[in-house]
Amino acid sequence: MRAIVALLTATLSVGAVVPASAQTSQEQPHLTPRNGVVAAPPVDPPPVQLIQLASGTKIPLTLKQGITTKSARPGDPVYAQTAFPITANNQIAIPAGTYVQGEVRQVVRPGRVKGRAELQMSFTSMIFPNGYTVMLPGAVQNTPGSTSNSMKGTEGTIQGDSTKGKDVGTVVAATIPGAGIGALASGSKGAAIGAASGGVLGLATVLLTRGPEVTLGTGDSVEMILESNIELDPAQVHKATAQQF
Average pLDDT over all residues of the chain: 74
pLDDT-based confidence at 234, cuts 50/70/90? very high
Give the model's pLDDT for residue 211: 78
For 156-199, what is each residue's pLDDT tens digit? 788 877 655 454 444 444 444 544 444 444 555 544 444 445 44
Taking the CA atoms of 201, 203, 209 and 212 in sequence, report the sign of the dihedral they define.
positive
Cα–Cα dist 23/46, whole Å? 35
Mean pLDDT of all residues in 96-115:
85
Q: Name residue 240's amino acid.
A: A
Kindly report the number of other CB atoms within 10 A of residue 173's CB atom: 13
pLDDT-based confidence at 150, cuts 50/70/90? confident
Length of the chain: 245
Of residues 196, 54, 211, 24, the one with CA closest to residue 117: 211
Instruction: Specify the range with the lowest mean pLDDT, choosing from 53-67, 136-150, 221-235.
Output: 136-150
Q: Which residue has the higher pLDDT, 102 or 173?
A: 102
Give the model's pLDDT for residue 41: 72
pLDDT-based confidence at 154, cuts 50/70/90? low
CB 108, CB 86: distance < 8 Å? no
Q: Name residue 200's amino acid.
A: V
For 7-50, what is each residue's pLDDT tens digit? 555 554 554 444 555 444 455 555 555 666 666 677 776 666 88
pLDDT-based confidence at 137, cuts 50/70/90? confident
Give the model's pLDDT for residue 140: 84
Q: What percent of the chain has pLDDT above 90? A: 36
Give the model's pLDDT for residue 124: 93
Q: Which residue has the higher pLDDT, 66 or 39?
A: 66
For 197-223, what is each residue's pLDDT tens digit? 544 554 444 445 557 888 899 999 999
